[in-house]
Amino acid sequence: MARMDAVSKRTVGKIEKLAESVIRAVKGGGNPFVEIPVRSLANVRFNEKKRVVELGNQRQKRYFFNVSMAKKFMQTFLVSDACKELIESGKTTSIRDLYYITKHSIGDTKQNTFEEQDESDPIIEDIEVALDALREELHLFASRKGTMVGPITIRDSGDTIDLRRMGSGGWGVPSIVEENVIQFGRHEAKYVLLVEKDAVWSRFNEDKFWKRQNAIIIHGGGQPPRGVRRMVQRLHRELKLPVYVLVDNDPWGFYIYSVVKQGSINLAFESMRMAVPDARFIGLSSFDKVTYKLPSNVAIKMDDGDVARARQMLAYPWFQAKQWQAEIQEMVKSGVKYELEALSRRGISFITEEYLPTKLKEKDWIA
């Protein structure tokens, strides 16, 4: 834990420095501010060479003496203070917990420091980027919702866990999966399969797909949380395992794939730690409905939001590859989308016994 102590010290130092800069500013009669890199599409760019989404260098100043910024400024320091306390006491907590820790009424008014968790979550991300500190370095984690199973043994906080013996539930992937917490042991895995949904993952687990195929199967309950993404990246980098991503055939599914592959707009600053530029899109492709003879009555009509989202994605720099343009255009043109479960129409285990093995065999994926 010595290294962790050094990291903690550094993080606490950063928080203190931020506070000192504010004190200096007011002493000098100035309007104190916190400088925060802008976390929006406008300040995100695609690094072609590294093939990841990166944060640009636009920064915004959050002033205290500005009626519209004063509250956020205050919130920034409430969260900073709480994090410092967490780090110093060696405890880690959820971002929901943090919301409750920092929420209280202001003076004798009915106003609260935070009205909802929706207010405190972005402040945490602001601090991460402002301090250039990772969430776990702030001793915070988001709710865990990823599950993993496969031919691998790991060590989690000193406990040895055999992921071949996880029954029907699988192993819950923690939010913090850094090397100091999780270490990899013996394994026979040939690749990693990341599926979008809990229900589909259960099918793969029940069918012992991992055993047959020597695959690590993992899901992130929709858009995978940081812990899952970091875990996938470590499996890819450290164990040199290829990563396949299996998602719904809709704009949201494609977006999940892109997040796994090159990072999200929101967390662009963490792309380097989480992106897997080599991740392969294995399905559900817009053309699978023909190849795998999906009846049209399992299709779902796209709504206006879906179409708009798909059109937006056509312009993303990381979807410029011909294959991707074809995928998205086909979806827009047909006006329908498919869930992974649609494959069950061809048999309950069609997805594990026919679909995926065929796709892998025929290398029918997009890289």
Partner 1 sequence: MAAKASRVAKADRRSRQLELVPVARPVAEPPAPTPVPAPGPAEDAAAGATESRRPKRRATAEEMATRQREISISEFFTKNRHLLGFDNPSKALLTTIKEAVDNSLDACEEAGILPEITIGVRDLGFEASGELTKGEGRFVVSVEDNGPGIVKAQAPKIFGKLLYGSKFHRLKQSRGQQGIGISAAAMYGQLTTGQPIRVVSRTGKGKPTHSFDIQIDTRKNSPVVTRDETLDDWHQDHGTRVDLEIVANWQSGQKFVNRYVEHTSLANPHCTVHYLRPKQARLSFPRATSELPKEALEIRPHPHGVELGALMTMAGDSKSHDVKGFLQTSFSRVSAQVAGEILKHAGLRERMRPREIAGDRDLAEKLHRGIQGTKIMAPPVNCLSPIGDALMRQGLVSFLSVIETEGPDGEDGQLDLDQAAKTKGKKGKAKPAPAPEPAEVEAEEGVEKIKGHDYFIATVTRPPRVYRGNPFQVEVGLAHGGSWPADRPVELFRFANRVPLLFQRGACGIHEAVVKTDWRNYLLSQPKGSLPVGPMALLVHIASVWVPFTSESKEAVAPYPEIIREIQLAAQECGRKLAAHIRKRQHADYQAQRRSIFELYIHEVAQAIGKIVGRSPDPIRREFMRVAEKVTEADLASQDAKLEEAAEKTARRPRRSEEDE
Identify whether 244 is a catalytic site residue: no
CA distances from 133 to 9, 10, 100, 136, 230 (A): 12, 9, 22, 8, 16
Q: What residue ranges in the chain does DSSP mark as E strands?
A: 33-37, 44-47, 52-55, 59-63, 93-94, 140-141, 146-149, 152-156, 159-162, 171-173, 182-187, 191-195, 215-219, 243-246, 280-283, 300-301, 336-337
**Is 95:120 a contact under the CB 8 Å cutoff?**
yes
Nearest Cα to Cα of residue 275 among 48, 55, 53, 56: 53
Q: Which stretch binds partner 1 (CB under 8 A): 74-82, 89-97, 221-229, 254-262?
A: 74-82
Backbone angles phi and psi of 264, in degrees to 5: -100, 160
**Strand duo 300-301 + 280-283: pairing:** unpaired
Q: Is the peptide bond before 284 cis (omega within 30 degrees of 0)?
A: yes
Q: Least distance to partner 1 from the beta carbon of 14, Å?
A: 11
* Residue in 5, 35, 65, 212 binding partner 1, rule: CB under 8 A: 65
Q: Which stretch binds partner 1 (CB under 8 A): 103-111, 163-171, 216-224, 322-330?
A: 103-111
Q: Least distance to partner 1 from the beta carbon of 12, Å?
A: 9
Which string of x and - marks every residue 5-24 that binds partner 1 (by CB under 8 A)?
----------xx-xxx-xx-
Neighbouring residues of 35: CB distance < 8 A, sequence distance ≥ 6: 59, 60, 61, 62, 130
Q: Least distance to partner 1 from the beta carbon of 142, Å?
A: 23
Q: Least distance to partner 1 from the beta carbon of 17, Å?
A: 10
CA distances from 296 to 178, 340, 342, 356 (A): 45, 14, 10, 21
Residues that bind partner 1 (rule: CB under 8 A) add up to a total of 30
Nearer to partner 1 among residue 119 and residue 207 (C-beta): 119
Three-state DSSP class for residue 139:
coil
* Residue in 1, 67, 167, 293 binding partner 1, rule: CB under 8 A: 67
Helix, strand, coil abundance in the chain, percent, nearest 5? 45, 20, 35
Nearer to partner 1 among residue 70 and residue 367 (C-beta): 70
Which string of x and - marks every residue 244-263 that binds partner 1 (by CB under 8 A)?
--------------------
Nearer to partner 1 among residue 88 and residue 278 (C-beta): 88
* Residue in 3, 10, 31, 58 binding partner 1, rule: CB under 8 A: 31
Residue 102 burial (CB count, 10 A): 21
Q: Least distance to partner 1 from the beta carbon of 25, Å?
A: 9
Nearer to partner 1 among residue 30 and residue 185 (C-beta): 30
Helices and strands, counts by H and E, the chain: 14, 17
Our finding on whether 101 is near partner 1 (CB under 8 A) is no
Q: Least distance to partner 1 from the beta carbon of 94, Å?
A: 21
**Strand duo 243-246 + 191-195: pairing:** parallel
Residue 58 backbone zone (phi > 0: left; psi -120 to 50: alpha; other: beta): beta
Nearer to partner 1 among residue 16 and residue 132 (C-beta): 16
Q: Which of 100, 257, 316, 338 is catalytic?
A: 100
Our finding on whether 34 is near partner 1 (CB under 8 A) is no
Nearer to partner 1 among residue 32 and residue 227 (C-beta): 32
* Range 104-143, binding partner 1 (CB under 8 A): 106-107, 109, 111, 113
Binding site for partner 1 (CB under 8 A): 15-16, 18-20, 22-23, 26-27, 29-31, 64-65, 67, 70-71, 73-74, 77-78, 80-81, 84-85, 106-107, 109, 111, 113
Please identify every residue annotated as catalytic: 100
